[in-house]
Amino acid sequence: LISCVYACGVAKPGHGSHTPLAVGLALLCCAGAGGQYTGASLNPARVIGPLTIFACGKDVCWIYILGQVVAAALACSVFAFVSGLGPLNPHTSSRTLHLEWHEAMFVWMIGSPPKRLRHTGRENINDMLLEEKKRRIAAKSASSGSGARASGALGGA
C-alpha cells in the first residue's frame, strides 16, 4: 500500500492521474490478503485507540505498530532505490545547489529552497535546479568559448 502511494502519488502527483484507483485497489488487496489474520487493521489508530481507551490488545499491539514502522521504512527504501534519491535528498541537494548540511536538511524537510537562493520567494526546488543547470551550461560555454578564442589567436599569429 505504501509503495503504491509513493509510486503513484509522490512520484507523479497531479490531477488526472489514476492514483485514487491504484491506491484503492492496493488497499483492497491488502485487506483481502491480511484481513483474516488482522481484521484488516491497516490503520494503526485502530489498534492504538482501543488500547488507550479500553486497555485491550496489550499483548499484540506492538506487532501492529512495529509492522507499520518497518513497512514504511522498507517501502521508502525500495522507492528510493527504484526511482532514485530525488532532488530533495540532502546528499543530492547539497551537491547540486552547493548547500550547507543544515540547509540541505531544511530543503529535505520543508521542500523549499533556502531564502538566500530565492529571488521572488515563490521558487521551488525544481526552479532552483533548472537555474543551477543553466548557470553550469553558461559557465561551460563561456570557458570553452574563451579557450577557442585563445587557440585561434595563437594559431593565427
pLDDT of residue 16: 60
Coil, helix or strand at residue 84: coil
Residue 156 pLDDT level (bands cut at 50, 70, 90): very low
Q: What is this structure's pTM?
A: 0.50
Distance CA 58, CA 69 (A): 18
What cell numbers appear for 123 in the block?
521558487
pLDDT, the chain, mean: 78
| 14 φ/ψ angles, rounded to the nearest 5 degrees | 140, 170
- List alpha helices for 11-124, DSSP H: 19-38, 45-54, 61-83, 90-96, 101-110
pLDDT digit string, tens, across residues 26-79: 888 888 887 777 676 677 787 888 888 998 888 888 888 888 889 888 887 887
Largest CA distance in the chain: 93
Compute the average pLDDT of residues 122-140: 83
CB 107 within 8 A of CB 128: no
